[in-house]
Chains A and B, each alone.
Chain A
Amino acid sequence: MGLKSNLHNLKEKYKGTKMAPAFNAIHTFLYLPNETTHNGTHIKAADDLKRTMNIVIMALVPCLLFGMFNAGYQHNLAFGTGSSVAGGFLSPEFWTVDNFLIGLWKILPLVIVSYGVGLAVEFVFAIIKKHEVEEGYLVTGMLVPLIVPIDIPLWMLAVAVIFGVVIGKEVFGGTGMNILNPALTIRAFLFFAYPTWMSGDKVWVKGAVEQDQLIAAGESLDAISGETILGSLAQGKEVGYDVMDMFFGFVPGSVGETSTLLILLGGLFLIFAKIGSWRIMLSSVVGALVMGLIFNGVVSSGWITEGSKFYGLMSTEFWHHLLIGGFAFGTVFMATDPVTASQTNKGKWIYGFLIGFISILIRVFNPAYPEGVMLAILLMNVFAPTIDHYVVQGNVKQRMKRLKAKTA
């Protein structure tokens, strides 16, 4: 007897009991169920929820793997134990086993905690509500480790995941009913609850926080500075990375968001698989460029001088904004979440444009927390139904007019 029939038997055995949804979930997650419906005509669609989710996860895998290499690379770079020159995307100094293992050792626990805690919450709710376990957490569980700093304590992640899944999703009725993107809800919770672990120049490099504690305890070591590009710009400091570093992702940042190249590939994959909306991605990029150009214009017209605290980010060349911080990751993987985004095509253009526009606005005017894309997407999640409402009403009005013109 294989695992499948074992699971099937277990499912039959526990049918009607409290635990039934849990066994059901494991069974349908791993295999195609044996049961078929007996009446009516059915169309079997290949793109069910599970397959959609799996494609997004596939698009995320390159970012995750790169994140592991980058974690090791940043660690070795900061501690002076590895090669300091990455030298191109395919350079052997970057893709070393050592780098990978350092990253794997730190990031794997993040992934396990994210999935373990999140799925546990989903199972508990499925059993309480007596409905099927939904696959909704599959993508969220993969997104969460990619958007947190590498040194975040695991218990904080666990608390945030519980909060995000319960308050962000389950209270609204579970997968498909949530107003806010659950992964970003989790990140926002961490961001406001434990700001020292979500910003600053230590948490982005593995080991920098511990080094800091050792220094505080009186050991004579060099402090590690792993400032992100956004952080440096917000403080008006020089940025030590060139454009290619930013594009390839050899920079400190949240685990999986640094490599714009791989995010771009993931985004193209999502577009060709017809899962991610190209309208949202494109309009968001346009929105960011427009806001960036406005700020560049303000700087070149001389309204903002170098003394201003907004100067650093305002004078950043407008297209650099696409490469730094979590903008690319948020636009490709978060803004396009089909549940929380606008549903109408016209609505998607407005929704995406405002995400890009507001992201850069928050970046510049909130130098204490320069990552604006998270807050911009959450804000627009709230407005998405309103946008859709007016788009639909506009359409209705237009057609009414046409009808009147015809019948008159």
Chain B
Amino acid sequence: MGLLSKKDAKLITDPLADNNPITIQVLGICSALAITAELKASLVMAISVLFVLGIGNVVISLMRNIIPSKIRIIVQLIVVAALVIIVDLVLKAFAYELSKTLSVFVGLIITNCIIMGRFEAFALGNGPWKSFLDGIGNALGYGVILIIVGFFRELLGSGTLFGIPVLGDPIAKTGLYSMGYENNGFMIMPPMALIVVGIIIWVQRSRNKALIED
């Protein structure tokens, strides 16, 4: 990457794996459990967070020297809230069905710990370009996990991907279903998302022992 220095590139790649916001920092679990039953919802959620966190980090970073530290949380909340409202209205205008599926969880991006965490931990102490990269990196790390979880949950729970049947028709009994396969109803329930996230954490830490904490 000629565009980014090595240090800057690390800002994006680190949160994807060894400093992933969900599996390592264990933030943003709530939405990861709630909306990952479908891949489409996971993807839209990931993009929404990417937008909010990328821009929010830049805005906070630009204002970092003029925000009085006593009221900084309030200022941060206003910035996120404004961005989330934009996302919410865009979704309602252009993807109404999807926004109904995501329902309250778009609004709840405001309380997503990842966003406040990045504002506090990074944007308040770094310049706008670095903050932007950090925001993008963390949002991507969040999105990757969301999409992995969404992929398995939709495939095993509903037999579809992005709503397209890939294993055959469960009612007409074609494809895999003709051999007696059935969808796993447990996959659609939130507890299974927790277990899938747990398995990802397990795999990740057994591949990289340095991540294991006592």
Q: At the interface, yes or no: A400 with Cβ under 8 Å from chain B? A: no
Alpha-carbon distance A192/B185, docked complex (angstroms): 6
B residues within 8 A CB of A196? 182
Q: Mark B190-214, 1 if CB is under 8 A from A, else 0.
A: 0000010010001000000000000
Using a CB-CB cutoff of 8 Å, which residues 116-168 of chain A contact chain B? 153, 155-156, 159, 167
Interface 0/1 of B5-44, CB less than 8 Å to A: 0000000000000000000000000000000000000000
Report A-chain residues with C-beta under 8 Å of the C-beta of B186.
Answer: 189, 192-193
Query: How far in angstroms is the closest Cβ of chain B from A299?
Result: 33
What CA separation (Å) do A194 and B181 show in the bound complex?
11
B180-A193 in contact (CB<8A): no
Complex alpha-carbon distance, A195 and B184, angstroms: 9
Residues 158-191 of chain B, each 1 if its beta carbon lies under 8 Å from chain A, else 0: 0000000000000000000000111011110100
A-chain residues with CB within 8 Å of residue B180 when the two chains form the complex? 153, 155
Task: Report whether B202 and A193 are in contact in the complex, using a CB–CB cutoff of 8 Å.
Answer: no
* Chain B residues whose CB sits within 8 angstroms of the CB of A189 once the complex forms: 186
Taken residue by residue from 181 to 217, chain A's Cβ proximity to chain B (1 for < 8 Å, 0 otherwise) reads as 0000000010011111100000000000000000000
B189 shortest CB reach to chain A, Å: 7
CA distance A168 to B87 in the complex (A): 40
Residue of A nearest to B189 (CB): A192
Closest Cβ of chain A: how far from B193's Cβ, in Å? 13
- Contact (Cβ within 8 A) A195 B182: no
- Is A193 within 8 A of B195, CB to CB? no
Q: How far is the CA of A196 from the CA of B182 in the complex (A)?
A: 10
Distance in angstroms between the alpha carbons of A189 and B202 in the assembled complex: 20
Which one of B184, B189, B195, B202 lies within 8 Å of A194 (CB-CB)? B184
Contacts of A197 in B (CB 8 A): 182
Tell yes or no: A239 within 8 A of B by CB: no
| A101: interface (CB < 8 Å) | no
A379 within 8 A of B: no
A171 at the interface (CB under 8 A from B): yes
Contact with B along A42-69 (1 / 0, CB 8 A): 0000000000000000000000000000
A251 CA to B77 CA in the complex, in Å?
62
Residues of the A chain whose Cβ atoms lie less than 8 Å from the Cβ of B187? 193
| Nearest A residue (CB) for B191 | A192
- Interface-centre pick from A156, A189, A193 (highest chain B CB count, 10 A): A193
State in angstroms the CA–CA spacing of A192 and B186 once bound together: 5
Q: Judge whether A167 and B195 touch: CB under 8 Å.
A: yes
Residue of A nearest to B180 (CB): A153
Q: Contact check: which of A153, A155, A193 meets B185 at CB < 8 Å? A: A193
Nearest-neighbour CB distance to chain B for A218, whole angstroms, equals 15
With A167-B195, A171-B202: A156-B185 Cβ-Cβ less than 8 Å: no
**In whole angstroms, what is the CA distance A155 to B182 when docked?**
10
Minimum CB–CB distance for B176 against chain A, Å: 11
Please, which residues of chain A bring their CB within 8 A of the CB of B189? 192
Complex Cα–Cα for A189 and B189 (A):
12
| Contacts of B112-151 to chain A: CB distance below 8 A | none
A193 to B186: give the CA distance in the assembly, Å: 4
- Which residues on B sit within 8 Å (CB–CB) of A155? 180-181
Fill in one digit per residue for B92-103: 1 if any A CB lies within 8 Å of its CB, else 0: 000000000000
Cα-based distance from A192 to B180 in the complex (angstroms):
18
Contact at B185–A195, with CB atoms within 8 Å?
yes
Do residues B195 and A156 form an inter-chain contact, with CB atoms below 8 A? no
Select from chain A the residue with minimum beta-carbon distance to B156.
A193
Q: How far is the CA of A197 from the CA of B182 in the complex (A)?
A: 10
Alpha-carbon separation in the docked complex, A192 to B184 (Å): 8
Of B181, B185, B186, chain A has the most CB atoms within 10 Å of the CB of: B186
A145 vs B104: C-alpha distance when bound (angstroms): 43
B185 (CB) vs chain A CBs: closest residue: A193
Supposing A167-B195, A192-B189, A193-B187 touch, asked if A156 and B202 sit within 8 A by C-beta, the answer is no
Q: Which residues of B contact A153 (CB under 8 A)?
A: 180
Query: B118 CB to closest chain A CB, in angstroms?
Result: 30
Residues of chain B within 8 A (CB-CB) of A195 are 185
Minimum CB distance partner of A192 in chain B: B186
CA of A362 to CA of B154 in the docked complex: distance in angstroms? Answer: 30
Least CB distance, A188 to chain B, in whole angstroms: 9
Cα distance A167–B192 in the bound complex, in angstroms = 11
Report how far A196 CA is from B183 CA in the complex, Å.
11
Minimum C-beta distance from A154 to chain B (A): 10
Nearest neighbor of A189 in chain B, beta-carbon distance: B186
Question: How near does chain A come to B21, taking the closest CB pair, in angstroms?
Answer: 22
> How far is the CB of A22 from the nearest CB of chain B, in Å?
20
- Nearest chain A CB to B149 CB, angstrom units: 15
Interface residue ranges of A351-400 to B (CB < 8 Å): none
A189, chain B: closest CB distance, angstroms: 6
Across the interface, which residues of B come within 8 angstroms of A192, CB to CB?
A: 185-186, 189
Distance in Å: Cβ of B86 to nearest Cβ of chain A: 38
Contacts of B202 in A (CB 8 A): 171
Which of A's residues lie within 8 Å of B, judged by CB?
153, 155-156, 159, 167, 171, 189, 192-197
Closest 6 pairs between A and B when the two form their complex, measured CB to CB: A193-B186, A192-B186, A193-B184, A193-B185, A153-B180, A194-B182
**Apart from A167-B195, A193-B185, what are 13 other A-B pairs with CB-CB below 8 Å?**
A153-B180, A155-B180, A155-B181, A156-B182, A171-B202, A189-B186, A192-B186, A192-B189, A193-B186, A194-B184, A194-B185, A195-B185, A197-B182
Q: Name 6 A/B residue pairs within 8 A (Cβ), A-sorted.
A: A153-B180, A155-B180, A167-B198, A192-B186, A194-B185, A197-B182
Chain B interface (Cβ within 8 Å of chain A)? 180-182, 184-187, 189, 195, 198, 202
